[in-house]
Amino acid sequence: MSHDPVPFDPDSLRYNEAGLIPAIAQDADNGEVLMMAWMNRESVMQTLATGKVTYWSRSRQAFWIKGETSGHHQTLVDMRVDCDRDCLLMQVQQVGAACHTGRRSCFYTGVSEAGEVELSKPL
Q: What CATH number does residue 67 fall under?
A: 3.10.20.810
CA trace torsion 93, 97, 98, 102 (10° rounding): 180
Could you tell me which residues are beta bridge partners of residue 75?
Answer: 52, 93
Q: What is the pLDDT of residue 80?
A: 98
Residue 7: inside a domain: no
Q: What is the pLDDT of residues 67-122, one digit of tens each?
A: 888 899 999 999 999 999 999 999 999 999 999 999 999 999 999 999 999 999 99
* Residue 49 within any structural domain of the chain: yes
Pairing of β 88-94 and β 33-39: unpaired
Tell me the whole-structure pTM to 2 decimals.
Answer: 0.91
Domain residues for 54? 18-118
CA–CA separation, 21 and 14 (whole Å): 7
Termini Cα distance of the chain = 42
Model confidence over 4-57: pLDDT tens digits?
A: 889 999 999 999 999 999 999 999 999 999 999 999 999 999 999 999 999 999
| Strands 54-57, 62-65: pairing kind | antiparallel
Round to whole Å and give the CA distance between 116 and 70: 28
**DSSP letter at 12?**
G
Note whether residue 91 is domain-resident. yes
